[in-house]
Amino acid sequence: MKAASCALVLIVASSCGVIGDLRPGPTIAPLISAAFLSVHLFIGDNGDAQEKARLPQLRDAIAGALPNAWATATVGRGHLSVRTDGDIDVELDGTSGTSALMQHQRGGRVTSRMIAVHTIDGSRRLTVPELMATVLHELGHIWCCFGPGTKDGHWEEAPTGFSSVGIMNSPMTCTATPGSDPICPSVFSDRELAEMKLSGP
């Protein structure tokens, strides 16, 4: 470890993947708006006893912080509400796995969307900041990222080291100081905001 920075870099490898038949690009614009998004966040039945005990707290923490996190991530251009009849379902799954946005299309239209967020990565139980970044990342996949410079929904050239700006990289890099919570990317980059139709005036 570098003594100068005293930080370790965490790679959130679980926060990646788009399942479905969406790639390489949407045939029509997604009907969900990043400017006014509603999310149904709920917990699943999976997980060991320890994780099942943790899931309600995780859900409450993420649900409470997500509206502000979305506003921050979109530099104030996006509004998000958490409610039971949201535009998109986000399930917290208490097992290890690859978190993903799953989309299905019929006749060029997206007929269903769901995000599964796994709360364990290998044997590591993910923290709220890591899970928050994962939720933002997977929500970003509704619109991002397509076209030149992207591969499987992510930017081909990922930054080396930690940056708080830029959420649609794979893997996502968080940074952590021993004894405190990790700090993860929290703001969509300009090109990400452009793909989300949230560019400035």
Please report, as ranges, the residues that interact with Zn ion according to CB under 5 A.
16
The residue whose Cβ lies closest to Zn ion is 16
Find the shortest distance in angstroms from Cβ 148 to Zn ion. 18
The tokens for 22 are 């969406």
CB 169 → Zn ion: shortest distance, Å?
Answer: 8
The structure tokens 């966040």 sit at 41
- Nearest approach in angstroms of CB 146 to Zn ion is 13
User: Considering beta carbons, is residue 54 or 130 the nearer one to Zn ion?
Assistant: 130
Q: Which is nearer to Zn ion, 54 or 120 (CB)?
A: 120
Q: Are 8 and 1 in contact (CB under 8 A)?
A: yes
Taking the least distance from each CB to Zn ion, the nearer of 142 and 176 is 142
Angle made by CA atoms 167, 84, 168, in degrees to the nearest 5: 10
Strands 109-121 vs 88-96: parallel, antiparallel or unpaired = parallel
Local structure of residue 153 (DSSP, 8 states): T
Measured CA to CA, the distance from residue 106 to residue 12 in angstroms comes to 32
CB of 99 to Zn ion, least distance (A): 8
CB-nearer residue toward Zn ion: 26 or 52: 26
Closest to Zn ion by CB, 16 or 110: 16
Q: How far apart are CA 70 and CA 118, in angstroms?
A: 20
Q: What minimum distance in Å lies between the beta carbon of 145 and Zn ion?
A: 9
Identity of residue 82: V
Q: Which residue has the tokens 């991530």?
A: 73
